[in-house]
Amino acid sequence: MTLPVWFQRIESAAIVVLVVVAFVQSGFAWWWLVAVFLLWDLSMLGYVASPRVGAISYNVGHSYVGPAALLAFSWLAGGDARWAVFVALTWAFHIAVDRLLGYGLKFTDRFTHTHLGEVGTKR
């Protein structure tokens, strides 16, 4: 594993910790993070259509842009959109854990080809 990948894994671990702390401090039960964890992998359903559609749908579902936009929305709503905080934090948690485990953003050729390297094969 290369040095930049190690840094990204450490960064992902830090995001996991920060999200758990923010989630609990927001008054949500920690177990919700585990309960909804796999829901975010529904973004892989695009692979049913093609590797290109799958990579695009997966990457949209595994980018921090979505959770950041929801947190911004909640902030702009004056904190009245707790559902947005819940969704954003569970989403960010999923992304961070995936990246920590080596599941990066996908290229359009095959599912195992990610920006963090190959997944599930010997390198």
Helices (H) and strands (E) in the chain, counts: 5, 2
- pLDDT of 45-55, one tens digit each? 999 999 999 99
Residue 122 pLDDT: 59
- Which pTM does this prediction carry? 0.90
Instruction: Work out the mean pLDDT of the chain and round it to a whole number.
Output: 91
Q: Tens digits of per-residue pLDDT, 20-71?
A: 999 999 999 999 999 999 999 999 999 999 999 999 999 999 999 999 999 9
Q: In the structure encoding, which two tokens stand for residue 62, read together?
A: 């595994």
Confidence of residue 112 (pLDDT cuts 50, 70, 90): confident
CA distances from 8 to 5, 29, 123 (A): 5, 27, 18
